[in-house]
Amino acid sequence: ARHADGTKVVDTATLFVSHAHGCGFWRMLDGVEAYMHAHKLSPQHTYCWIDAWSLRQHRQAEEVAFIAAVAQSIGHGVLVLDPYDAPLAFSRAWCLFEVVTVLDGGGRFGVSLPPDERVRLVRALRADRASVLRTLTQFDVREAALNDEEDRKTLLALIRRRFGSPDVDGREDGAAEVNERTREALWNALAAFSWQI
């Protein structure tokens, strides 16, 4: 199938969308649309990979390697934050893992918000930037939610294999690396975002 201008309706994904399933569908789409607009991505030439349409949900333990390969293959991701002051995405271990996986493959990751949350974030940044940044960076992949204990074991084992580096006690689980790299990506994305304010 093709659009009226001849471009394909479906093609190879060019944007990996990371979002918490608790974020409403339309809110997630508003965040993606805002990201595309801010980064001048053509709606006719941007093809989004959204897990809800591409994976068997609630059986993600079987899909871990697939998610990592897809995220790295696309190489460009966006994390939808909603609400800005308590982003559901930061409470979900899969979202944090997806950010770092794209970055680990040499890709880039940005953040976006639905338009009303963007207005709230801008106001909050102007009022108390340090407090907002503290709030946005207080997360830990080890404490983030997963669907079930099997998913937790699978994901944390993958994080340990991929990002762990034994410390003196040999207990480094890689989670600190995931947290640090996700925070760094968030800082960079917020810095880029601040130029749009």
pLDDT at 171 exceeding the cut of 50: no
**Predicted pLDDT at 99:** 86
Neighbours of 190 (CB within 10 A): 19
135-158 confidence digits (pLDDT tens): 888 888 888 887 778 777 888 888
**Predicted pLDDT at 194:** 60
**Predicted pLDDT at 133:** 84
**Predicted pLDDT at 166:** 65
pLDDT at 168 exceeding the cut of 50: no
CB 193 within 8 A of CB 184: no
Mean pLDDT of the chain: 83
40 phi and psi angles, rounded to 5 deg: 55, 45
> Exposed, middle or buried by CB within 10 Å (0-12, 13-18, 19+), for 78?
buried
Which of the four pLDDT bands, split at 50, 70 and 90, describes residue 195? low
Query: Could you tell me which of 85, 91, 90, 88 has the C-alpha nearest to residue 125?
Result: 85
Cα gap 186→188, rounded to integer Å = 5
Percentage, residues of the chain above pLDDT 70: 88
pTM of this structure: 0.83
30-75 confidence digits (pLDDT tens): 999 999 998 999 988 999 998 777 765 555 556 666 787 888 899 9
